[in-house]
């Protein structure tokens, strides 16, 4: 059975409210992206976007996800309307890793950071 490596940075991480959706999947460890991304407070959850000019190294978790769970996660994340699943660059990882990137415009003045939950 094939597995997809996914980077999670928000409500799907261990200890967060939607983590139950990863039941039965393999936690590979904590991970950090290359400084090309940014987390934004888009609602009661974060959205990660590509920011090649002013990006940060986003902190999160790396998981190996089976195809059935991947299909459920795509639906949960509202792919492709709200999020898209795209390849990202993760430090010290030479395999293909994907993450859910926010697929809506970000309003100016929205809080952004390298880790969620955001410190206030």
Enter the pTM of the model.
Answer: 0.95
CATH number at residue 30: 3.10.490.10
Catalogue the E-assigned strands of the chain.
3-8, 26-32, 37-41, 46-50, 59-66, 83-88, 97-102, 112-113
Please give the structure tokens belonging to residue 51: 């920011």
Mean pLDDT for the stretch of residues 66-75:
97
In a domain, 9, yes or no: yes
Provide, rounded to the nearest whole percent, the portion of the chain with pLDDT above 70: 98
Among candidates 13, 8, 6, 27, which has minimal Cα distance to 70? 6
Which pLDDT does position 43 carry in this prediction? 86
Structural domain containing residue 81: 3-107
Mean confidence (pLDDT) of the chain: 95
- The count of domains in the chain is 1
In a domain, 113, yes or no: no
In a domain, 30, yes or no: yes
| pLDDT exceeds cutoff 70 at 69 | yes
In a domain, 112, yes or no: no
In a domain, 116, yes or no: no
Which pLDDT does position 102 carry in this prediction? 97
In a domain, 38, yes or no: yes
């Amino acid at each position: 059975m094939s597995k997809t490596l996914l980077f999670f940075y928000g409500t799907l991480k261990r200890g967060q409210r939607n983590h139950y959706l990863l039941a039965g999947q393999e936690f590979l460890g904590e991970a950090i992206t290359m400084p090309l991304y940014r987390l934004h407070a888009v609602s009661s959850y974060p959205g990660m976007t590509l920011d090649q000019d002013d990006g940060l190294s986003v902190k999160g978790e790396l998981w190996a996800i089976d195809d059935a769970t991947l299909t459920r996660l795509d639906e949960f994340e509202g792919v492709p309307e709200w999020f898209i699943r795209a390849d990202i660059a993760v430090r010290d990882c030479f395999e293909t890793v994907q993450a859910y990137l926010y697929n809506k415009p970000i309003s100016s003045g929205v809080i952004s950071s390298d880790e969620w939950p955001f410190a206030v």
